[in-house]
Structure 1
Amino acid sequence: MHQLLNSAGDTYVRTATLADWPLIETLHRSCSEHALHRRWGRTRITRRDIERLLDHSRCWIALHATDAVIALASTGPISREPGVFDLGLQVADAHQRRGIGLSLARYAAAHARSRGAHTLAVYAEASNLPILGLVRRLGHPTAFRHEGTHLDVRVPLHRTGAHYPPTPPLAPF
C-alpha cells in the first residue's frame, strides 16, 4: 500500500522489505560517498546491512513517481534504553532539502510513539548540519551528548512542537 508523502503528488512512501534491496542499492548508488559516510559511517552498504536494519527496526522507502527509491528511513528501539527509539535517514543527494526527510522522520516519530517511545534518538556527525536542522524541526531536542566528532541528540516525543500524523497503515504491496 502506498501513502502519499508530498502535496505535489509525486512521492509515495511504503514499508520496506528485503525484496526492496535492489531499489535500496540503487538509492545508495545515487548518494555521494560523503552522504553515505555521514549516514552509515562507510561508503559501501551491503544487503546484509539492510537485513540487519530490517531485523531491528521498521523501515520505509520513499519512491518518486518513476518508482525510483529516493529515501530510506528507519526507527527501532534502542536496547538497554526503554522508550527510546533510534532514527535513521538517508535521502538521495538530488532530493535533499525538499521536505522528504522531514516527512519520513515524522512518520518514524509517529511510529515510535505508537510503540510506546517517549524519546527519539539521532546519532550523527556534529558537522552534519542538515540532519541536525531536521531534528530541530521535529521538536525541541533536550540533549546533545558529544562523542568525539559525533552527537547523540534526543528529542522527547511528548514535548515536540511538531504535529505528527497518526501512524500510517503502511504495509508491503
Structure 2
Amino acid sequence: MALRRVRAEDFPLVDAFHRRCSPAHLLRRWGRTRPSPRTLGRLLAHADCWLGLGAGDEPLALVSVGPVSREAGVFDLGLQVADAHQRRGIGTALARHAAQYAHDRGAHTLSTYTEASNQPMLRLLRRLGPVREMRHGAHLDVRLPLGMSGLAHRPP
C-alpha cells in the first residue's frame, strides 16, 4: 500500500474513497453520508491526512492526525478503511504511521473519540498498546501512549 498526503485539491480522490464506504460507516466517522470539500478543508486546517492507496491508486483508507486543542502533546487520530478492505491490516498500518508522525512532532499520546459500539476501532487501538478509556455517554475517549514504551518507539 502506498501513502499519499492529502491536500484540499485532492477532494475528488477523497470522494472516490468515500464512495467505497457504507453510509453507516460514513455517518459514524463524519456525521453525514457525503462529506463535502468544506468538510475536508476543515479537517486539513487542523490535521495532516493521508490516503492509503492500493493497486492502480485505488483509495482504500483515510487517516488523519493532529494536535488536540488545549492538550499539549496529545494528537487526535481519525481513521477509516473502505468496507471491502477492512480486517487486512490497512488500518493498523495507517495508525502506526500516524503514531510515528505525531511522535516525531512532540506528541506523547494519541486520542480517539469514538462510539462505544465501534468495536473494530476499539479492537485496533487495544492491539496497538495499553489504552486508557474514558466513557462519555455512548462514546469513549481512548488514549494511547506514544514514546519509550508505547507505539511510536524506535529501538536504538
**Shorter-chain TM-score: what band?**
over 0.9
Indicate whether 1:144 and 2:133 are aligned: yes
Equivalent residue runs for 1:8-47 within 5 Å: 11-47=1-37
Whether the 8 Å CA contact 1:109–1:164 is kept in 2: the answer is no
Going from structure 1 to structure 2, the CA distance change for 1:110 and 1:137 (only over 3 Å counts) comes to same
Tell me the secondary structure at the aligned position of residue 60 of structure 1. strand
Whether the 8 Å CA contact 2:114–2:141 is kept in 1: the answer is yes
TM-score by length of 2: 0.93
After superposition, the C-alpha distances for 1:35-82 in whole angstroms (9 at most, x for unaligned) are 112212222211111011111111111111121211110000000000
Quote the Cα distance in structure 2 between the aligned partners of 1:83 and 1:110.
13
Q: Which has the higher helix share?
A: 2
Whether the 8 Å CA contact 2:67–2:75 is kept in 1: the answer is yes
Indicate whether 1:108 and 2:98 are aligned: yes
Tell me the secondary structure at the aligned position of residue 130 of structure 2. coil
Relative contact order, higher structure (CA 8 A, sep 6+) = 1
**Paired residues, number:** 154
Match of 1:133 in 2: 123
Going from structure 1 to structure 2, the CA distance change for 1:93 and 1:164 (only over 3 Å counts) comes to farther
Quote the Cα distance in structure 2 between the aligned partners of 1:19 and 1:165.
34
Tell me the secondary structure at the aligned position of residue 103 of structure 1. helix
Going from structure 1 to structure 2, the CA distance change for 1:32 and 1:164 (only over 3 Å counts) comes to farther
Whether the 8 Å CA contact 1:107–1:164 is kept in 2: the answer is no
Moved over 2 A (4+): 162-166
Tell me the secondary structure at the aligned position of residue 99 of structure 2. helix
Provide structure 1 residue ranges, at least 5 long, that are not aligned to the other structure: 1-10, 167-173
Indicate whether 1:53 and 2:14 are aligned: no
Quote the Cα distance in structure 2 between the aligned partners of 1:62 and 1:72.
6
